[in-house]
C-alpha cells in the first residue's frame, strides 16, 4: 500500500473506532410502542439529541427487533447503541436490579417517588458499576406508573390468588413475590401473554394502567386490582464501549437529552393512570376496578419482609448494600417531600408502563 492509502484507512478506522466524532445514526430500542411511556421518552430523547448535535437517533419499538432478551443482547454486542429495559429483564444479568420487585418498597406518593429517582445514591452511584460489568452505561432509571393486577376473578386477599396463574416477567424475585402473595407465578415473554390469558393458560398479569389499556389486555380480563405494591421501573442504558468512545461533547449531549426526557416523562405521566382506567371502563363497562383499602392490603404487605430476605439471598454480592442505600434514599425522599415514608395512598398523579 502507498502512503495515501494507509492514511485513508487509518482515518476510516479512527472514525469508526471513535463511536462518532462525525455525524452518526444512533440506534435505540425499547420495550413498548411509540405512543406508550418508553416510546414517549425515546422520542423526547431523539428530539433533544437531534436539536443539539449533528447525530440522528433511529428508534426501534417493541417487536421490531425481537423480545426483551434480543434487544439486550444486541446492545451488549454493539449492534444497538441504546436500550430501554426494565430491571425485570436485566435481573438475570444484574441480580441486584431485582430490588425493584420487593413489594411495598417504593412509595405511592408521587412527589416522594420522583424525588427518589432524581436523587437516589443507589441508582446514581451503586448501580452504574454493576451495569458497567455487563458492558452497559446506565444513563437513568425512571418510574412508569403504579402496577395493577388483572385477573379473571376478584381479588381482595391472598386467599383469592390461591392457584391463580399470574404471568410475570422472567425475574426470580418477582416469582418469589407472587408466591408470597399466594399465586402461582408463571414467567412468560410479553408477546405470549394475551393469547395465554385468552386460552386460560394463565388467569392474571400485572402492569401499569396505561399499558393494560394500550395493549387491550382488559379484553381478556374481568378485574383490575390496585394492590399498591409497586411502581413499574425502567432504565435507559447505552453500550459501554460506544459511550466511552464518544467525545465529551457528545456524551454531554446524551446526558442533557436524558435529563430533558426524564423531566418530560414525569410531566407526561400526570393523571395518566386515571385517564387509562377511564378509557378501559368506557371500552368494557363490565370490568371491575378495585383499589384495596389499607386494611385489605395488610396481608399482602406482611409478605414484603420474606421477599426482602429472599432478595438478600439471590440479589448478588451487592444486595445488602443496595437495599440499605435504597432505604436511606427513600427516607430522604420522604423527608424532602414532607410526607410519611412508603405507604401513603396517592392522590391523582403521574404514572405509566411496563411489561
Q: Which CATH architecture has domain 25-337?
A: 3-Layer(aba) Sandwich (3.40)
Residue 309 has a pLDDT of: 97
**Residue 8 has which C-alpha cell?**
485513508
Residue with cell 432478595: 311
Residue among 61, 111, 97, 113 nearest 231 (CA): 113
Q: pLDDT tens across 156-165, in order? A: 999 999 999 9
User: What is the tens place of the pLDDT at every residue in 265-280?
Assistant: 999 999 999 999 999 9
Instruction: Report yes or no: 240 and 132 within 8 Å, Cβ to Cβ.
Output: yes
**pLDDT mean over 188-202:** 94
High-pLDDT (> 70) share of the chain, %: 89
Averaged over 70-83, what is the pLDDT? 97
Report H helices in 52-100. Answer: 68-76, 87-90
Q: Mean pLDDT, to the nearest integer, of 28-38?
A: 97
pTM for the predicted model, two decimal places: 0.87
Amino acid at each position: 500500500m502507498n502512503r495515501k492509502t494507509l492514511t485513508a484507512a487509518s482515518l476510516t478506522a479512527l472514525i469508526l473506532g471513535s463511536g462518532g466524532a462525525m455525524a452518526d445514526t444512533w440506534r435505540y430500542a425499547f420495550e413498548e410502542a411509540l405512543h406508550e411511556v418508553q416510546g414517549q421518552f425515546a422520542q423526547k430523547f431523539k428530539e433533544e439529541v437531534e436539536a443539539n448535535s449533528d447525530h440522528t437517533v433511529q428508534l426501534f419499538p417493541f417487536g421490531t427487533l425481537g423480545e426483551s432478551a434480543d434487544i439486550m443482547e444486541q446492545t451488549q454486542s454493539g449492534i444497538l447503541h441504546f436500550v430501554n429495559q426494565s430491571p425485570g429483564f436485566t435481573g438475570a444479568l444484574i441480580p441486584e436490579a431485582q430490588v425493584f420487585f420487593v413489594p411495598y418498597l417504593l412509595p405511592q406518593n408521587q412527589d416522594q417517588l420522583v424525588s427518589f429517582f432524581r436523587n437516589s445514591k443507589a441508582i446514581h452511584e451503586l448501580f452504574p458499576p454493576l451495569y458497567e460489568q455487563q458492558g452497559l452505561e446506565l444513563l437513568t432509571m425512571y418510574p412508569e406508573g403504579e402496577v395493577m393486577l388483572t385477573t379473571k376473578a376478584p381479588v381482595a386477599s391472598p386467599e383469592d390468588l390461591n392457584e391463580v396463574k399470574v404471568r410475570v416477567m422472567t425475574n426470580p424475585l418477582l416469582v418469589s413475590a407472587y408466591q408470597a402473595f399466594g399465586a402461582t407465578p408463571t414467567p412468560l415473554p410479553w408477546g405470549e401473554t394475551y393469547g395465554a390469558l385468552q386460552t386460560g393458560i394463565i388467569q392474571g398479569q400485572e402492569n401499569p394502567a396505561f399499558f393494560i389499556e394500550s395493549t387491550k389486555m382488559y379484553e381478556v380480563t374481568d378485574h383490575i386490582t390496585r394492590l399498591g405494591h409497586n411502581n413499574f421501573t425502567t432504565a435507559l442504558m447505552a453500550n459501554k464501549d460506544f459511550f466511552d468512545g464518544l467525545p465529551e461533547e457528545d456524551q454531554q449531549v446524551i446526558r442533557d437529552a436524558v435529563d430533558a426526557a426524564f423531566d418530560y416523562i414525569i410531566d407526561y405521566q400526570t393523571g395518566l393512570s386515571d385517564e387509562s382506567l377511564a378509557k378501559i371502563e368506557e371500552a368494557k363497562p363490565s370490568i371491575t376496578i378495585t383499589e384495596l383499602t389499607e386494611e385489605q392490603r395488610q396481608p399482602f404487605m406482611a409478605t414484603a419482609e420474606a421477599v426482602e430476605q429472599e432478595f438478600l439471598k439471590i440479589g448478588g454480592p451487592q444486595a445488602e448494600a443496595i437495599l440499605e442505600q435504597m432505604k436511606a434514599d427513600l427516607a430522604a425522599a420522604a423527608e424532602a417531600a414532607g410526607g410519611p415514608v412508603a405507604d401513603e395512598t396517592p392522590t391523582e398523579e403521574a404514572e405509566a408502563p411496563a411489561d
